[in-house]
Amino acid sequence: MKHRYLAMIVGGTLALGACAERHDMPVAEAAPIGPGALAGTVAADRDGDGIVDGYYTREGIYHPFSAPPCPPPPPPPPPRRGERG
């Protein structure tokens, strides 16, 4: 009984293997650089929060992004209860 299943698996493998074709596929070119990317650099996320913090050059030197500080958050809205003038 086990030999029958083994023969079916081997036969199926040989049948499918005969249909397979081996072609050397050409390697795709590198994707175009997106807006704001620097050619020849690697993005770096040093603190692991998923946001790119800077980049490494080909020499291995880290360059952090420098941006102006974020504006403060808006003040909270007035409470809904109390005097309504």
C-beta separation of 48 from 40 below 8 A: no
More confident residue, 62 or 1: 62
Residue 5 and residue 12: Cα distance in Å, rounded?
11
Q: Mean pLDDT over residues 51-72, rounded?
A: 83
pLDDT > 70: percent of the chain: 79
Q: What is the pLDDT of residue 30?
A: 67
Query: Where are the domains positioned within the chain?
Result: 40-65
Is the pLDDT assigned to residue 74 strictly greater than 80?
Answer: yes
pTM of the model: 0.36
